[in-house]
Amino acid sequence: MKLTTKSEYSLLALIYIARHQDGHFIKVEDICEKYNLTKKYLEHLLGVLKQSRYIKTKRGSHGGYRLAKPANKISIAEIIRLMDGALAPTESVSEYFFSQTALSQEKKMLVVFKDIRDYISKKLEKMKLSDLI
Protein backbone atom coordinates (compact mmCIF):
# COMPACT_ATOMS: atom_id res chain seq x y z
CA MET A 1 0.00 0.00 0.00
CA LYS A 2 1.29 3.41 -0.97
CA LEU A 3 -0.73 6.52 -0.27
CA THR A 4 -1.01 8.95 -3.15
CA THR A 5 -1.82 12.63 -2.95
CA LYS A 6 -5.41 11.67 -3.81
CA SER A 7 -5.95 9.91 -0.50
CA GLU A 8 -3.67 12.25 1.49
CA TYR A 9 -5.41 15.42 0.29
CA SER A 10 -8.86 13.86 0.59
CA LEU A 11 -8.18 12.92 4.20
CA LEU A 12 -6.80 16.39 4.95
CA ALA A 13 -9.90 17.98 3.43
CA LEU A 14 -12.23 15.72 5.39
CA ILE A 15 -10.37 16.43 8.63
CA TYR A 16 -10.56 20.17 8.01
CA ILE A 17 -14.26 20.03 7.13
CA ALA A 18 -15.05 17.91 10.19
CA ARG A 19 -13.18 20.30 12.50
CA HIS A 20 -14.67 23.50 11.15
CA GLN A 21 -18.15 22.85 9.78
CA ASP A 22 -20.10 23.80 12.97
CA GLY A 23 -23.38 24.27 11.13
CA HIS A 24 -21.95 25.97 8.05
CA PHE A 25 -20.30 24.99 4.79
CA ILE A 26 -16.53 25.13 4.36
CA LYS A 27 -14.98 26.94 1.41
CA VAL A 28 -12.44 25.09 -0.71
CA GLU A 29 -10.14 28.12 -0.51
CA ASP A 30 -9.91 27.74 3.28
CA ILE A 31 -8.78 24.13 2.96
CA CYS A 32 -6.29 25.01 0.22
CA GLU A 33 -4.84 27.84 2.29
CA LYS A 34 -4.48 25.71 5.42
CA TYR A 35 -2.63 22.86 3.68
CA ASN A 36 -1.13 24.73 0.69
CA LEU A 37 -3.06 22.64 -1.87
CA THR A 38 -4.02 23.57 -5.41
CA LYS A 39 -7.68 24.49 -5.75
CA LYS A 40 -8.33 22.70 -9.05
CA TYR A 41 -6.93 19.37 -7.82
CA LEU A 42 -8.74 19.58 -4.48
CA GLU A 43 -12.03 20.42 -6.21
CA HIS A 44 -11.60 17.28 -8.31
CA LEU A 45 -11.04 15.17 -5.17
CA LEU A 46 -13.99 16.79 -3.41
CA GLY A 47 -16.10 15.88 -6.44
CA VAL A 48 -15.18 12.22 -5.97
CA LEU A 49 -16.03 12.45 -2.27
CA LYS A 50 -19.36 14.06 -3.14
CA GLN A 51 -20.23 11.37 -5.71
CA SER A 52 -19.44 8.74 -3.08
CA ARG A 53 -21.68 10.56 -0.58
CA TYR A 54 -19.05 11.47 1.98
CA ILE A 55 -19.66 15.20 1.60
CA LYS A 56 -22.45 17.56 0.55
CA THR A 57 -22.06 20.77 -1.39
CA LYS A 58 -23.91 24.05 -1.52
CA ARG A 59 -23.50 26.73 -4.15
CA GLY A 60 -23.46 30.46 -3.56
CA SER A 61 -21.77 32.96 -1.27
CA HIS A 62 -22.54 30.87 1.81
CA GLY A 63 -21.81 27.61 0.00
CA GLY A 64 -19.01 25.13 0.24
CA TYR A 65 -18.59 21.64 1.61
CA ARG A 66 -19.72 19.74 4.68
CA LEU A 67 -19.79 16.12 5.78
CA ALA A 68 -22.73 14.08 4.50
CA LYS A 69 -22.50 11.65 7.41
CA PRO A 70 -21.10 11.77 10.94
CA ALA A 71 -17.31 11.67 11.23
CA ASN A 72 -17.54 8.56 13.41
CA LYS A 73 -19.17 6.71 10.48
CA ILE A 74 -16.31 7.35 8.03
CA SER A 75 -13.39 4.93 8.26
CA ILE A 76 -9.97 5.97 7.03
CA ALA A 77 -9.75 2.68 5.12
CA GLU A 78 -12.86 3.59 3.09
CA ILE A 79 -11.33 6.86 1.92
CA ILE A 80 -7.98 5.29 1.03
CA ARG A 81 -9.69 2.50 -0.93
CA LEU A 82 -11.89 5.03 -2.72
CA MET A 83 -8.94 7.16 -3.78
CA ASP A 84 -6.05 4.69 -4.09
CA GLY A 85 -7.50 1.20 -4.34
CA ALA A 86 -6.25 -1.78 -2.36
CA LEU A 87 -4.75 -1.54 1.10
CA ALA A 88 -2.89 -4.80 0.47
CA PRO A 89 0.81 -4.66 -0.42
CA THR A 90 0.14 -6.82 -3.50
CA GLU A 91 -3.01 -7.61 -5.49
CA SER A 92 -2.53 -11.34 -4.94
CA VAL A 93 -3.54 -10.89 -1.27
CA SER A 94 -6.09 -8.10 -1.69
CA GLU A 95 -9.59 -8.79 -0.40
CA TYR A 96 -11.22 -6.08 -2.52
CA PHE A 97 -8.97 -5.86 -5.60
CA PHE A 98 -7.68 -9.45 -5.93
CA SER A 99 -5.91 -10.63 -9.03
CA GLN A 100 -3.46 -13.45 -9.68
CA THR A 101 0.18 -12.43 -9.78
CA ALA A 102 3.42 -14.37 -10.09
CA LEU A 103 3.75 -14.04 -6.32
CA SER A 104 0.67 -16.26 -5.96
CA GLN A 105 2.95 -19.26 -6.56
CA GLU A 106 4.97 -18.57 -3.41
CA LYS A 107 2.65 -19.54 -0.56
CA LYS A 108 5.03 -18.55 2.26
CA MET A 109 5.42 -15.06 0.79
CA LEU A 110 1.65 -14.78 0.51
CA VAL A 111 1.32 -15.53 4.22
CA VAL A 112 3.69 -12.67 5.05
CA PHE A 113 1.85 -10.23 2.79
CA LYS A 114 -1.54 -11.33 4.14
CA ASP A 115 -0.32 -10.62 7.67
CA ILE A 116 0.79 -7.16 6.58
CA ARG A 117 -2.54 -6.60 4.81
CA ASP A 118 -4.52 -7.70 7.86
CA TYR A 119 -2.56 -5.44 10.21
CA ILE A 120 -2.94 -2.37 8.00
CA SER A 121 -6.56 -3.09 7.20
CA LYS A 122 -7.60 -3.63 10.83
CA LYS A 123 -5.84 -0.46 11.94
CA LEU A 124 -7.38 1.71 9.21
CA GLU A 125 -10.86 0.15 9.41
CA LYS A 126 -10.93 0.78 13.15
CA MET A 127 -9.75 4.38 12.77
CA LYS A 128 -12.59 6.80 12.04
CA LEU A 129 -12.44 10.37 10.82
CA SER A 130 -13.66 11.43 14.27
CA ASP A 131 -10.45 10.00 15.78
CA LEU A 132 -8.43 12.55 13.80
CA ILE A 133 -10.31 15.73 14.66
Q: Whole-angstrom Cα distance, residue 82 to residue 124? A: 13
pLDDT of amino acid 123: 92
pLDDT tens track for 40-72: 999 999 999 999 999 999 998 888 999 999 999
pLDDT of amino acid 101: 64
pLDDT of amino acid 82: 93
Q: Whole-angstrom Cα distance, residue 93 to residue 116? A: 10
pLDDT of amino acid 99: 56
Q: Whole-angstrom Cα distance, residue 93 to residue 1? A: 12
Read off the pTM: 0.83
CA neighbor of 83 nearest in space, from 45, 120, 117, 132: 45
Q: Whole-angstrom Cα distance, residue 13 to residue 34? A: 10
pLDDT of amino acid 116: 81
| The residue count for the chain | 133
Does domain 5-67 sit in CATH 3.30.70.250? Answer: no
Beta strands in 1-133, from DSSP E residues, in sequence order: 55-58, 64-67
pLDDT of amino acid 103: 66
Confirm if 128 and 75 have CB atoms less than 8 A apart. Answer: yes
In this prediction, the residues of the chain whose per-residue pLDDT falls under 70 are: 1, 87-104
Q: Whole-angstrom Cα distance, residue 88 to residue 107? A: 16
pLDDT of amino acid 115: 84
pLDDT of amino acid 22: 85
pLDDT of amino acid 97: 47
pLDDT of amino acid 64: 94
pLDDT of amino acid 120: 84
